[in-house]
Structure 1
Amino acid sequence: MSKETSEWLNNNVLIGYTDKRGHAWHYRASAQGSESNHYPGAIPVADVQRRLFHWTAEPEPVLVSGKFGLRHVPNKQAITASDTGDVLGIFADGYTVHQYQEWLLNKVGTILDDGLSIGSAGLLRDRRQAWVSVEVPENITTPEGVEFRPNLVACTSHDGSLATTYKRTVTNVVCDNTMSAGLREYGQQFKVKHSKNGKFRIVEARDALAMVHTVAEEFAAEVKALCETTVTDQAWRAFLDAHTPVPEDKGRARTTATNERAALNRLWNSDNRVSPWRGTAWGVVQAINTYTHHEAIVRNASRAERNMSRAVDGKADALDQDTVTTLGKVLTSV
């Protein structure tokens, strides 16, 4: 994964609805240059087309050169960018390109209704991955004080790293974290492989995703249940032992675990992104999610790129669900 610079991110990531969630982007780069990448409301589709998806991925033959001259490699194709010629990936002939414009804008428009608009869009891995997030206009706040934004994330790739995926997620406004739409089970999603047999079926997609609007009620119910689940100090310590055990032997692993536990305790006790829900299962989910997004060690990538990649590749969903599962086991034993 490439180390994206702030300048690169500002030119390749668009952030909408900043009037609703503010400009304090904890892990997204701030705007630079003459044209801001932040929008107070929805991001116009035309801007996504002009700024991000103005090029296409084109199949080209694969050639090798050597002492026998220039030769064609049979049954292989290179996927290249139409504007720069950059090689995005090399595949067998059966690989089918899913153009960003078609699969992330046009097809998303056929799934959703007129009450939803683009909240974010961007390119990752030197344009080898892309996503578009479609959101409701207004933030939703639960009686427990959790403010969030339901959304549908559509993502795909030109390097083979992602099947084209449409899935429901949630943005937690207080900390700008991506969270699983289903904290106790994997959220609904619909995938299409990059193959000749991979087909986009609108009825199946709609049935699988059940519309973004349904996320609000389901997620709010999850939050309510977790906020009503008590986590005592003893249970919190037991959870840390299960989630981040400290190795007996001295060394890097022990130091890393010790530092992580100290950071989690600080979040749990005094950070306003977590501490308002201290003593509840929701506070535990918030602590782990916030630590992973904003404080965990990041290697071979910028934090902004890492967090965005986790949102599109499913690791953000797995994080929340694993946290709830681990906590459930702890609470049955303490």
Structure 2
Amino acid sequence: MSKETLEWLNANTLIGYTAARGTAWHYRASMQDEEANHYPGPVPVDDVRRRLFSWEALSRPIYVEDPVTGGLSTVPERQAIVRSDTGHVMGIFSDAYEPHPYVEWLVNTISRLLDDDLSIGSAGLLKGGAVAWVSVEVPENITTPEGVEFRPHLIGATSFDGSLATTFKRVVTNVVCDNTMAAGLAEHGQQLKIKHSKHSKLRLNEARDALNIVYQVADDFAEQVKRLCETSVSDRQWAAFLDEFAPMPDERGRSRSLAENKRQVFNRMWRHDDRVSPWAGSGWGVVQAVNTYVHHEQTVRGACRAERNALRTVTGGVDDLDRETTRLLEKVLGRPVLSPSA
């Protein structure tokens, strides 16, 4: 990871509850300003406003050079969304696009809904400020009888580059490996989305319902972990799963070498990695192995790992990954795992 990326993460993310989950892997004391970006407890709402969202997203007209006169002509029905502090162009849209200011949509709404049991656990900016998130969390980690320690939370996220509607969704952080995981593998629709269109608005009762989901996450996720831990996966079934997830090409060459290397990493984690091996031989071990591999081992192209992981969290890539893992596992086992009849 480049020094510039590390500097961005240390200056443009705020990480709370480090007394419960430890520091983020990108933390560098030498890159901190006068104020550290890590907090032993919750992240204060005012700090999110002041340190991350003190600028505005402005709509500006777009001009092109006239090839005949050499002057500038306005592009009709188009606008650029730029940062007020740096002038950075975050996105170009039709005039029907309505930006959702971070303070209004991600801070003010959430701060009106927070109670004694919920606080801001993290917040940050990605892609030069074009994407932002705020995470609402409970103060304490939760540990299941199977030894899985996690933190349930709800993420509010939006963008100024067109990549993301304003979204509130429930997720889980697996503390042992600092992975984000899907809170409900067997279900969809656990999120609220509002498009960036004229007259779009977030009704307070909808946001309240979304935040209430945080209280349901712990029980739902713990039950999911229980079912997966009770699902036995033999050595033969683990090998069959790898055949599905990382198929081995018949012909020798680069593709076969890549598949062999991937399988070696998976087998190492399955047998020796503390983030996976305690649950080897179970469905939970399979889900944990794939999630950990993608978060921490898989080659990342076109972005830094931390930004890639954060974007996957807010856009739903994490949910898709965990659900696809479960689908492949059920295919190998020949039976459902998480359905009531499992």
TM-score by length of 2: 0.92
Distance in 2 (alpha carbons) for counterparts of 1:270 and 1:213? 34
SS of residue paired to 1:114:
coil
Any conservation in 2 of the 1:245–1:257 contact (CA below 8 Å)? yes
Any conservation in 2 of the 1:184–1:325 contact (CA below 8 Å)? no
SS of residue paired to 2:198:
coil
Match of residue 44 from structure 2: 44
Matched letter for residue 11 of structure 1? A
Match of residue 148 from structure 2: 146
SS of residue paired to 1:211:
helix
Distance in 2 (alpha carbons) for counterparts of 1:177 and 1:298? 16
Any conservation in 1 of the 2:61–2:80 contact (CA below 8 Å)? yes
SS of residue paired to 1:297:
coil
Runs (4 or more) in structure 1 with deviation over 4 Å come to: none
Match of residue 281 from structure 1: 283
1:209–1:325 distance in 2 versus 1, CA, 3 Å: farther
1:183 equivalent to 2:181? Answer no
Match of residue 323 from structure 1: 325
1:214–1:98 distance in 2 versus 1, CA, 3 Å: same
Question: For 2:163, which of 145, 161, 164 is the aligned residue?
Answer: 161
Match of residue 30 from structure 1: 28
Distance in 2 (alpha carbons) for counterparts of 1:212 and 1:149? 10
Q: Residues 101-123 of structure 1: CA distance to partner in whole angstroms, max 9, x if unpaired?
A: 11111122345433211111110
Distance in 2 (alpha carbons) for counterparts of 1:43 and 1:210? 20
Match of residue 104 from structure 2: 102
Any conservation in 1 of the 2:168–2:210 contact (CA below 8 Å)? no
Q: Which has the higher contact order (CA 8 A, sep 6+)?
A: 1
Corresponding pairs, count: 330
Question: For 1:125, which of 124, 127, 152 is the aligned residue?
Answer: 127
Distance in 2 (alpha carbons) for counterparts of 1:252 and 1:66? 50
Match of residue 63 from structure 1: 63
1:286–1:100 distance in 2 versus 1, CA, 3 Å: same
Shift in Å, 1:208: 5.1
Identity, % of aligned positions: 61
Any conservation in 2 of the 1:3–1:301 contact (CA below 8 Å)? no
Distance in 1 (alpha carbons) for counterparts of 2:256 and 2:234? 25
Any conservation in 1 of the 2:291–2:321 contact (CA below 8 Å)? yes
SS of residue paired to 1:212:
helix
The answer for unaligned runs of 5 or more in structure 2 is 336-342
Match of residue 134 from structure 1: 136
Distance in 2 (alpha carbons) for counterparts of 1:332 and 1:4? 48
Q: Residues 226-268 of structure 1: CA distance to partner in whole angstroms, max 9, x if unpaired?
A: 0011001111001110111111223332222211111011111
1:313–1:248 distance in 2 versus 1, CA, 3 Å: same
1:155-234 → structure 2 map (5 Å cutoff)? 155-186=157-188, 188-207=190-209, 210-234=212-236
Any conservation in 2 of the 1:17–1:41 contact (CA below 8 Å)? yes
Shift in Å, 1:202: 2.5
Match of residue 338 from structure 2: none
Match of residue 265 from structure 1: 267
TM-score by length of 1: 0.95
SS of residue paired to 2:290:
helix
Shift in Å, 1:205: 3.7
Distance in 1 (alpha carbons) for counterparts of 2:73 and 2:209? 48
Q: Residues 174-204 of structure 1: CA distance to partner in whole angstroms, max 9, x if unpaired?
A: 0000000102223610000000143312223
Distance in 2 (alpha carbons) for counterparts of 1:166 and 1:79? 22
Considering only aligned residues, what root-mean-square deviation do their CA atoms show, in Å?
Answer: 1.7
1:100–1:3 distance in 2 versus 1, CA, 3 Å: farther
